[in-house]
Amino acid sequence: MKNLNSIKKYLKGNLGLAFLSLLFATLSVISKLSIPFITGLVIDQMKNGNFEIMNYLFVAFAFLLLGSIFRYFFDIMVSILGHNVVKKMRDDVFTKFNKVPVSYLDTHTHGDLLLRLIGDIENVQTGLINGAGALYEGVVQILVTLVFMFYLNYALALTVVFLTPISLLVSKFISSRNAKYFRDQNAKLGELSSFGLETISNLETVQAYQLESSREEEFDKKNNEVKSKNFKAAFAASWINPATRVVNNSIYAILILFGSFILIKDLPLGVPFSVGALSSFLTYSLQYMTPFNEISDASSDILYALASLKRVNEVLFEKEDIDEGKEIIGDKVKTLQAKHINFSYDGKRQIISDFNLDIYAGHKIAFVGPTGCGKTTIINLLMRFYDPQNGGFYINGKPSTRYSKHDLRSHIGMVLQDTWLSHGTIRDNIAFGKKDATLEEVVEAAKKAHADEFIRRLPNGYDTYISNSSNLSSGEKQLLCVARIMLLEPEIVLLDEATSNIDLRTELALSSSFDSLMKGKTSLVVAHRLSTIQNADLIVVLKDGIMIENGNFDELMNKKGFFYNLYLSQLS
């Protein structure tokens, strides 16, 4: 019920469309159902030898035309309503992605989230909005048909009313058993989407390690699982329609026999019963049963849509990353300290243990250690993507949680291991964090990042259209990311293994750009290659989340401890 209630807010701004949809549906049904009654009158007139029936036929044609027109406008209104709801829902889900904690995004695959944003919301429109329109139309048709049937013969009408629940019970029984199949189907489809996106996004790595065959086998395995779930859902749903049709056809046969008996015996059951009235009634009995058949046909889509809506609501109802900090840092970050930081992602395995560090303004601090030792976690904690269980960073003597995340991050520039460029021009990408930057400011930032030269060699220079999959080298993409930070001129620069995905030659070419970026700024560097941090003011050596050594390069080499052995292992 909670899932269905979430639809209400999307209908509030579309009440006019919803009302018009219901109005046109009602008028369409009334127009359509008037025709069998007129047909019955025509039959009786002809039976009595009166063949002057043109007036009846004209009226029937008018109702037929009006019904078609009303139906056309009903379809248009439902379509517009569906598109409006889907557009607003998709906007809300995308906005929610920007508000949920990073931990939520880290624990859900990108393919699954993309499926919720695109595929599941599309299912809500096709299965739920359109299905609701069909449901209302069906209910109106049932009510109007009942009015006509009770007018023609109340005994036959009561027979229809008492027998119809059999069809409904059969449909409900089968549908209730099918919901699980559709939930499983959606879950497996999300896994398949995630796996496909993961493979496509890392195709070079897959090919480099000659994993094409194993990935194809894994994809085929997951695809077969989806196929199996699809088959089970389709097979289960396929029982609804035949079962209800068998029941409805049986009811129709009973009505023919009972109606013929009433007609032959001339039983006094309401208005005088005629051949035309029986013909009209039998037509109405079919019209009465048709909505139940259509609802049965649509129930599979509705169940599928409800399963999709549940997945969408899981995102919409997710707890947001609330920023409780209200204070502003001010013009400068004067002091930066880490005090007794303890952190775990899952509450079980400790990632950072009692971490303490004084970071002086303008200094370059490098974090080194084995994979999984907590280097990137420290960066994430400073950016407040996560908050530690105990302790924390202190800025200008105050806990960083006292400051708003927006203000805190405005003082920090970050270059990650994986470069990300948006669809747009070179200029747009450099000005990504400062939309109002002038062309002169963009060019100056590119020059400082040593990116101006290669940009001017591109076909349209700064107006060259690119994306993350453009034919730019890894080094060129990284230069654009550096230029992006240069334009912002932050006080603190974070480099999270920014050169680990590029070759040594490109790294050497980038070194001057990184030096320019960090000049005069407080810099925290997560280092992959230890040879790149020889000029760091302080090197922090981590192992299992614990700082086991610290000092400058020469001091650590002279100690001949963990860092010394780590450095020699890289050289060898």
d(CA 190, CA 201): 16
Please give the backbone phi and psi of residue 546, each rounded to the nearest 5 degrees, phi first. Answer: -115, 135
Per-residue CA distances from 45 to 8, 269, 274, 277, 348 (Å): 51, 22, 11, 11, 86
* Percent over 90 (pLDDT), the chain: 25
Q: Which of 3-12, 326-335, 474-483 has the lowest mean pLDDT?
A: 3-12
Mean pLDDT value across residues 285-295: 77
Average pLDDT, the chain: 83
d(CA 162, CA 141): 18
Is the per-residue pLDDT at 330 higher than 90? no
Digit-coded pLDDT (tens) for 89-129: 999 999 998 888 888 888 888 878 888 888 888 888 888 78
What pLDDT is attached to residue 323? 80
The beta strand positions in 46-125, using DSSP E, are none
User: Other C-beta atoms within 10 Å of 211: how many?
Assistant: 15
Specify the higher pLDDT residue, 69 or 103.
Answer: 69
Digit-coded pLDDT (tens) for 277-289: 788 888 888 888 7
- Strongest mean pLDDT among 214-218, 219-223, 505-509, 560-564: 560-564
Query: Exposure of 400 by Cβ count < 10 A (0-12 exposed, 13-18 middle, 19+ buried)?
Result: buried
pLDDT tier, 356 (very low <50, low <70, confident <90, very high otherwise): very high
For residue 149, what is the DSSP state? H
Fold for 336-571, please state it: Rossmann fold (3.40.50)
What pLDDT is attached to residue 107? 83
What pLDDT is attached to residue 505? 60
What pLDDT is attached to residue 50? 63
Digit-coded pLDDT (tens) for 21-51: 989 999 999 999 888 888 888 877 776 666 6
Specify the higher pLDDT residue, 378 or 470.
Answer: 378
Specify the higher pLDDT residue, 507 or 559.
Answer: 559
Mean pLDDT value across residues 524-553: 89
pLDDT tier, 363 (very low <50, low <70, confident <90, very high otherwise): very high
Digit-coded pLDDT (tens) for 432-458: 888 899 999 999 999 888 889 889 998
Whether the Cβ atoms of residue 523 and residue 495 lie closer than 8 Å to each other: yes
Q: Strand, coil or helix: what is 413?
A: strand
Is the per-residue pLDDT at 267 higher than 90? no
What pLDDT is attached to residue 49? 63
Strand partners, 64: none
Total number of residues shown for the chain: 572
* Percent over 70 (pLDDT), the chain: 89
d(CA 16, CA 253): 43
What pLDDT is attached to residue 189? 79
Give just the sign of the alpha carbon dihedral 365, 371, 373, 378: positive
- Strongest mean pLDDT among 51-55, 160-164, 221-225, 363-367: 363-367
Digit-coded pLDDT (tens) for 179-231: 677 777 777 877 887 788 777 767 666 766 677 788 888 888 888 888 887 77
Mean pLDDT value across residues 128-137: 81
Whether the Cβ atoms of residue 315 and residue 79 lie closer than 8 Å to each other: no
Is the per-residue pLDDT at 177 higher than 70? no
Whether the Cβ atoms of residue 396 and residue 330 lie closer than 8 Å to each other: yes
Whether the Cβ atoms of residue 199 and residue 215 lie closer than 8 Å to each other: yes
What pLDDT is attached to residue 268? 65
Cα–Cα nearest to 115, from 192, 45, 21, 18: 192
For residue 119, what is the DSSP state? I
Is the per-residue pLDDT at 244 higher than 80? no
Structure tokens given for 55: 């007036």
For residue 319, what is the DSSP state? P
For residues 143, 149, 154, 155, the Cα torsion angle rounded to the nearest 10 degrees is -110
What pLDDT is attached to residue 341? 95
Cα–Cα nearest to 410, from 503, 296, 491: 491
Structure tokens given for 23: 């109005």
Is the per-residue pLDDT at 521 higher than 70? yes
Whether the Cβ atoms of residue 462 and residue 487 lie closer than 8 Å to each other: no
Structure tokens given for 30: 């009334």
What pLDDT is attached to residue 209? 63
Structure tokens given for 107: 């624990």
What pLDDT is attached to residue 325? 82
d(CA 199, CA 202): 5
Cα–Cα nearest to 167, from 243, 106, 221: 243
Whether the Cβ atoms of residue 319 and residue 382 lie closer than 8 Å to each other: no
**Domain boundaries defined on the chain:** 2-316, 336-571
What pLDDT is attached to residue 184? 79
What pLDDT is attached to residue 500? 56
Place of tokens 């809300």: 92
Structure tokens given for 73: 């406008």
Q: Which amino acid is at 486?
A: M
d(CA 135, CA 157): 22
d(CA 10, CA 3): 12
Q: Strand, coil or helix: what is 342?
A: strand
Cα–Cα nearest to 421, from 377, 480, 362, 461: 480
Q: Cβ contacts of residue 320 below 8 Å, gap of 6+?
A: 96, 99, 100, 101
d(CA 363, CA 552): 11
Digit-coded pLDDT (tens) for 471-500: 788 788 888 888 888 898 889 999 887 665
Q: What is the pTM of this model?
A: 0.71
Please give the backbone phi and psi of residue 364, each rounded to the nearest 5 degrees, phi first. Answer: -105, 115
**What CATH number was assigned to the domain covering residues 2-316?**
1.20.1560.10
Specify the higher pLDDT residue, 195 or 173.
Answer: 195
Is the per-residue pLDDT at 260 higher than 80? no
Place of tokens 């229809």: 160
Cα–Cα nearest to 96, from 306, 318, 311: 318
